[in-house]
Chain A
């Protein structure tokens, strides 16, 4: 089983739609959680950290469920510019101190 698994996608949605991505992780030593955005042929860029209580940044909402070991990202009112690959990342502490990425979920927003 992969350490971090994501919905494979691609998700094709019209502008204005709400779309949700899920990510599951297998290691209970996971300490911190993140969503990165990666545009085609570009480097990953941090979109947002994910906090236990859930957090929101404009149209983006991230949630964490430690009991079920999953993270979610909700995008409301999708824009064409949201088209990208969204990478879930989990930071393993306890001597590992490394970031493990999922394979990413591709989102395509169309007019």
Chain B
């Protein structure tokens, strides 16, 4: 069974530029999550989707971050404009349901210069 797919794997941008990340969850998984993991810290939930609806975006910096999952399958996370402190690994995860085991993708490593 294919796992969670993410692209790109690495991205280097300058501050104030825009960047977008893509995630394709495990087939059949209704719940999709985006996490931010800063070096030396655990993953922090940014946004959670149930199918194409947002369940929780309380920790998403909405002035610069946006995410969508229009057809309830794959998802994109965008940062516009990026700041230095956005340098982190952005992990996508999916699960069958909100209380089911989460499976993580390989992540996108972002460096903002």
CB within 8 Å of B: which residues of A?
4, 32, 41-46, 87, 89, 91, 93, 96-104
Contacts and interface: CB of A to CB of B under 8 A. Distances in A.
Given A43-B91, A46-B101, A93-B99, A104 B107 contact: no
A87 B48 CA distance: 20
B91 to A, nearest CB: 6
Interface of B: 40-45, 48, 55-56, 91, 98-99, 101-107, 109
Contacts, number: 42
Interface of A is mostly: strand
14 contacts: A4-B42, A43-B105, A43-B106, A44-B43, A44-B104, A46-B101, A91-B99, A97-B48, A98-B48, A99-B45, A102-B42, A103-B41, A103-B42, A104-B42
Nearest to B106: A43
A42 B106 contact: yes
Given A43-B91, A44-B43, A99 B104 contact: no
Contacts of A97: 48, 55-56, 98-99
A98 B31 CA distance: 11
Given A43-B104, A44-B104, A101 B43 contact: yes
A87 B40 CA distance: 11
B56 A101 contact: no
